[in-house]
């Protein structure tokens, strides 16, 4: 390919993406058509979605598995929808780069058709946002967007391109050649800073001095690939390991030190154990209300050591924090070396293991339940058994997040857990994006029926583009998480409370067949395992529609004052 003369913006953009490892882009027409045509000639897969939010979710799932930015496009009138789709990537710390077209400057502030200001839309959901006025600016601003998306706490970036379909950028000249570029070759994480030796020494001393140390790992630890270092430090300290949902499976969930997810989506043992710690080590974990159950797990007075690559997170929530600004994996390794071989009393770890074992024994009958309609606990147990050793599990938010993080076991090695950071309906489009980056690895999506309705049309995308995922639908004909609460609120007042959170019934296996895909309806627990085996073995998207009972509750998180 001859790059001797000036390239058009479309040529430079497409060749740069292809030369630096981008394998898929996700978009809604009509934008960047010349670029998309060029990408097709270069072997990059172009995935046309049915909604801008779905394209953003696909790019998010792709980024989380690929460890590099996911790319999504939308035309000017779809910019607001695309921005809304970036919320989950922003909250989930995922490096997505979004591109939109916009009316040229001469059309602005004149009531141009379908045009609103884009910068305010993207301000809340991006780390970097810039207008690209001419093609010559594209290389410089794309490099900056790429660096911003990948560095520190990864988060989305946005470039607003001149022209309704970005034609002002696509047709203009770019003088520099396209090809491999260090800025676009960044991997996750791109840098591994380590705290100063004095800070490491102080943290090691604090950890040695605490009798009961608990660890809570977050999505930053997962992005850093810190599982082995986390486990090594925990072994040295005899410290139980809890996680946020973003770090579920970073260590084997059945390991004797693993206590499960912590917070208001957590399993009961984890909160109880972390609450009893003298010192909590947060590793790449943003101490928000979810993972701390509104800052009660652990209590605010607890001594904390916190590792994070973003210095703004250190001590954000807990006043008694010794902060270590650094990459989680590299910092854990330095801490482990500084600790040496401390003498530890294993009583706290043994107590934690006993609490977890007792809870597992309580859960066992539910996980093996033969009831019909099917209990979700049993469905989760079957997913655990069916998920391949290198499988990827993608879970939606709400009850899907709670069920999967408390009742599905992960091996802490080849398996990967991705969860929605808050946007209902995220999981199915995100699972398609994840599969685009996953190669031969199998992807299983766990979604409630309420979430699936958001982006059901992406079944057509999966069929058209040949993207193979196993879509497991927890189909209870309603929003199960809120069902008992709204029944209590209704009380004896007249009216049908079901109108507020119940819908269906819908047979999603039939719908899958209408989209040209395979659908399997499951109404008895003994049929779950063969359905999952067949679906996972398939080379196309298969919908496994499981008729579940809406009334059984997911595990409730423990709080101080609850009976042990």
In this predicted structure, the answer to whether residue 2 has a pLDDT above a threshold of 60 is no
Enter the tokens of residue 448.
């409630």
Kindly report the CATH class assigned to 7-185. Answer: alpha beta
pLDDT digits (tens, 9 = 90+) for 431-454: 999 999 999 999 999 999 999 999
pLDDT digits (tens, 9 = 90+) for 278-294: 999 999 999 999 999 99
Domain extents for the chain? 7-185, 197-353, 368-547
Tell me, what's the pLDDT at 486? 87
Q: How many CA atoms lie within 13 A of 264 on its CB side?
A: 12
In this predicted structure, the answer to whether residue 173 has a pLDDT above a threshold of 50 is yes
pLDDT digits (tens, 9 = 90+) for 454-489: 999 999 999 999 999 999 999 999 998 888 888 888
Enter the tokens of residue 36.
């998309």
Tell me, what's the pLDDT at 561? 84
Average pLDDT of the chain, as a whole number: 96
Tell me, what's the pLDDT at 113? 85
In this predicted structure, the answer to whether residue 258 has a pLDDT above a threshold of 60 is yes
521, 489, 496, 516: which is closest to 506 by C-alpha? 521
pLDDT digits (tens, 9 = 90+) for 102-135: 998 888 888 888 889 999 999 999 999 999 999 9
pLDDT digits (tens, 9 = 90+) for 179-210: 999 999 888 898 999 999 999 999 999 999 99
C-alpha to C-alpha distances, 356 to 215, 280, 346, nearest whole angstrom: 15, 18, 15
- Taking the C-alpha atoms of residue 524 and residue 540, their distance in angstroms, rounded to an integer, is 24
| Bridge partners, 352 (sequence order) | none
Rounded to an integer, the average pLDDT of 400-425 is 96
Sign of the CA dihedral running 516, 376, 215, 412: negative
Beta strands in 360-475 (DSSP E): 392-395, 416-419, 443-448, 470-475
- Taking the C-alpha atoms of residue 269 and residue 286, their distance in angstroms, rounded to an integer, is 21
Tell me, what's the pLDDT at 357? 97
Which segments of 210-251 does DSSP mark as H helices, in order?
Answer: 219-224, 227-237
- Taking the C-alpha atoms of residue 199 and residue 77, their distance in angstroms, rounded to an integer, is 50
- Taking the C-alpha atoms of residue 474 and residue 457, their distance in angstroms, rounded to an integer, is 18
Name the superfamily (CATH) of residues 368-547.
Thiamin diphosphate (ThDP)-binding fold, Pyr/PP domains (3.40.50.970)
- Taking the C-alpha atoms of residue 420 and residue 452, their distance in angstroms, rounded to an integer, is 13
In this predicted structure, the answer to whether residue 355 has a pLDDT above a threshold of 80 is yes
Tell me, what's the pLDDT at 1? 43
Instruction: Enter the DSSP assignment of 548.
Output: B
Rounded to an integer, the average pLDDT of 265-282 is 95
| Domain range 197-353, CATH architecture | 3-Layer(aba) Sandwich (3.40)
State the Cα torsion 79-83-85-88 to the nearest 10°: 170
In this predicted structure, the answer to whether residue 4 has a pLDDT above a threshold of 90 is no
**Contact yes or no for 387/532 (Cβ under 8 A):** no
**Contact yes or no for 279/213 (Cβ under 8 A):** yes
Tell me, what's the pLDDT at 513? 97
Consecutive H or E run containing 34: helix 33-41
pLDDT more than 70, % of the chain: 99
Domains 197-353 and 368-547 share a fold: yes
In this predicted structure, the answer to whether residue 400 has a pLDDT above a threshold of 50 is yes
pLDDT digits (tens, 9 = 90+) for 224-239: 999 999 999 999 999 9
In this predicted structure, the answer to whether residue 52 has a pLDDT above a threshold of 60 is yes
The pTM of this model reads 0.96
């Amino acid at each position: 390919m001859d790059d001797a003369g000036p390239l058009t913006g479309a040529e430079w953009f497409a060749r740069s993406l292809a030369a630096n490892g981008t394998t898929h882009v996700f978009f809604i027409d009509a934008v960047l058509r010349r670029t998309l045509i060029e990408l097709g000639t270069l072997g990059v897969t172009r995935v046309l979605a049915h909604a801008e939010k779905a394209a953003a979710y696909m790019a998010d799932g792709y980024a989380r598995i690929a460890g590099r930015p996911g790319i999504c496009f939308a035309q000017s009138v779809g910019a607001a929808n695309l921005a809304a789709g970036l919320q989950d990537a922003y909250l989930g710390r995922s490096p997505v780069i979004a591109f939109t077209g916009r009316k040229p400057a001469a059309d602005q502030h004149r009531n141009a058709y379908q045009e609103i200001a884009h910068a305010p839309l993207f301000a809340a959901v991006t780390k970097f946002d810039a207008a690209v006025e001419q093609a010559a600016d594209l290389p410089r601003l794309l490099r900056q967007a790429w660096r911003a998306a990948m560095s520190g706490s990864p988060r989305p970036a946005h470039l607003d391109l001149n022209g309704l379909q970005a034609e002002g950028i696509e047709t203009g000249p770019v003088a520099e050649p396209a090809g491999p570029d260090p800025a676009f070759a960044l991997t996750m994480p791109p840098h591994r800073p380590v705290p100063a030796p004095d800070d490491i020494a102080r943290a090691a001393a604090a950890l040695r001095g605490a009798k009961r140390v608990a660890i809570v790992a977050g999505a930053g630890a997962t992005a850093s690939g810190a599982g082995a270092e986390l486990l090594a430090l925990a072994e040295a300290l005899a410290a139980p390991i809890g996680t946020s949902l973003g770090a579920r499976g970073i260590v084997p969930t059945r390991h004797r030190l693993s206590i499960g997810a912590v917070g208001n989506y957590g399993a009961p043992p984890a909160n109880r154990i972390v609450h009893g710690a003298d010192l909590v080590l947060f590793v790449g974990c943003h101490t928000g209300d979810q993972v701390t159950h509104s800052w009660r797990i652990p209590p605010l007075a607890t001594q904390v050591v916190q590792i994070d690559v973003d210095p703004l997170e250190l001590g954000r929530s807990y006043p008694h924090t010794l902060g270590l600004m650094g990459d989680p994996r590299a910092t854990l390794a330095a801490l482990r070396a500084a600790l040496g071989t401390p003498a530890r009393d294993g009583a706290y770890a043994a107590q934690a293991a006993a609490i977890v074992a007792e809870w597992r024994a309580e859960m066992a009958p539910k996980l093996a339940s033969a009831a019909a309609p099917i209990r979700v606990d049993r469905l989760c147990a079957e997913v655990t058994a069916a998920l391949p050793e290198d499988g990827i599990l993608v879970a939606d938010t709400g009850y899907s997040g709670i069920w999967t993080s408390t009742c599905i076991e992960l091996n802490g090695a080849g398996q990967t857990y991705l969860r929605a950071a808050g946007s209902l309906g995220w999981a199915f489009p995100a699972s398609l994006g994840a599969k685009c980056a996953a190669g031969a690895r199998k992807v299983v999506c766990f979604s409630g029926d309420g979430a699936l309705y958001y982006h059901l049309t992406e079944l057509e995308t999966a069929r058209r583009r040949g993207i193979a995922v196993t879509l497991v639908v927890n189909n209870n004909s309603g929003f199960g998480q809120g069902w008992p609460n709204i029944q209590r609120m209704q009380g004896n007042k007249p009216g049908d409370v079901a109108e507020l959170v119940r819908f269906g019934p819908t047979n999603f296996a039939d719908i899958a067949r209408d989209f040209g895909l395979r659908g399997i309806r499951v109404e008895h627990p003994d049929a779950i395992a063969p359905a999952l085996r067949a679906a996972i073995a398939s080379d196309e998207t298969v919908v496994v529609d499981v008729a579940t009972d809406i009334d059984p509750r997911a595990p409730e998180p423990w709080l101080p004052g609850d009976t042990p």
